[in-house]
Amino acid sequence: MPQRSLFNLPDVGEGLTEAEIVSWKVKPGDVVAVNDVIVEIETAKSIVELPSPYAGPVAELMVAEGDTVAVGTPIIAIGAGAGAPAAVPAPAAAGPVAGEMKPLVGSGPKADAVKRRPRTGSAAAVVRPPDAAPAPAAAQAPARVPASNVNAAGAANRVLAKPPVRKAAKDLGINLADVSPTGLRGEVTKKDLRSYQDQRTAEQDGAATFWAPGAGSGLAGDPRVERIKVKGVRKATAKAMVESAFSAPHVSIFVDVDASRTMEFVKRLKASRDFEGIKVSPLLILSKAVIWAAARNPSVNATWTGEEIIIKHFMNLGIAAATPRGLMVPNIKDAQKLSLRELAIALNSLATTARAGKTQPADMQGGSLTITNIGALGIDTGTPIINPGEVAIVAFGTIKQKPWVLDGEVIPRWITTLGGSFDHRVVDGDLSARFMADVAAIMEEPALLLD
């Protein structure tokens, strides 16, 4: 009898223990080739597309969208039922066998290389078996179905939408089953999403901040209480921050900086032909300042192991990024080697990738020192928690005009406050002060970078 090959959830990043199935790109009966993208998963760090290690027909999707499963769990069966050819493994000297999977390398074609499985209106949707009859055209409209009734409802309750629309809905927190479709095939369009969001915003603007009293009694059944499951990036961030806060003795210092010359320098860079088409902001100058100051004070660019202090003579500069999926800290590898223009391009690429939810696990590993740009949110300063595996983090506050004493006169200047947190096991008070003073010196006079 033809054999089915099981694809187990692989470890796509160092130390991954579990991942959430975000969306299937295939359905039972589809025929896939080796390296066709078959599923999109969300790890504690990023969204990752997994390619198929086998060629053949999809026999079964073994995990529903929205479920979180452990690494090594079988998630899809590729291979045949009766009368169909067995799955063909990827050619290799010792390829995977049924139920096993070697670590994936590289990635295959994008999701549109295979048919995308439409999602049901429930998070606990169960995949329609390949021998089920297709839904009639009149039954394509979206509908809410209790999880316990999904099997009985079958294909009649699918919500049709293209991948970009699904992603937009997820980013906005919209359940596609709640949106009235206007597409030619009964699919939800971006216009439908915008219309639904406008209506929802109008309702929220006209609603009270808190729900009316008496709507429920006690937390267990109180409709006024919202419960959000802790998973993915939020779960990983919480674990990392608790470990850092309670294992590394933090000491924080602050310095006010006259960044007027940084603002002038940024203005000149924006007008320069060398930076045409490249977004330039004061964060670029701060990043260069941190790299420069760390080279002068190497112990801030280190890792504490308990047995030794590992000083890194390279800079993988981490930039804390707020994304729709939560806080991430991707880093720019070997940032010390980059020119000012190359660093600007790298910062832009990092931000764009993070906002799109496409940051890969490798981009968040091996960081040296982190910058958190809280000034982008209008905050003056803060006491950031050190990223695990590092010993220093710099908080960049907002830059705004304030009265400043210069040569005995009070004049308006562009002022910012830098905050630094340091692991006191490695970085003493004197060293942290010298490092922050060096960073401030560059922000006050960017021409020092030319020395």
Beta bridge partners, 20, equal 42, 68
Q: How many CA atoms lie within 13 A of 443 on its CB side?
A: 28
299: tokens are 């112990």
Q: Give the CA distances from residue 362 to residues 178, 199, 316, in Å, rounded to whole numbers and listed in that order.
A: 36, 40, 12
Q: 168 by DSSP, 3-state: which?
A: helix
Question: Which candidate, 45, 47, 46, places its Cα nearest to that of 37?
Answer: 47
Question: Which candidate, 72, 30, 32, 77, places its Cα nearest to that of 51?
Answer: 32
- Beta-strand relationship, 369-372 and 392-396: parallel
Beta bridge partners, 47, equal 42
For residues 121 and 289, what is the distance between their CA atoms, to the nearest angstrom?
Answer: 50
Beta bridge partners, 246, equal none
Establish whether 424 is a catalytic residue.
yes
Helices (H), 173-280: 190-205, 232-247, 260-271
427: tokens are 């970085």
- Beta-strand relationship, 302-304 and 31-32: unpaired
Which residue out of 231, 355, 424, 434 is catalytically annotated?
424
| Angle in degrees, 0-180, between the axes of helices 282-296 and 260-271, rounded to the nearest 10 | 120
Q: List the catalytic residues.
A: 424
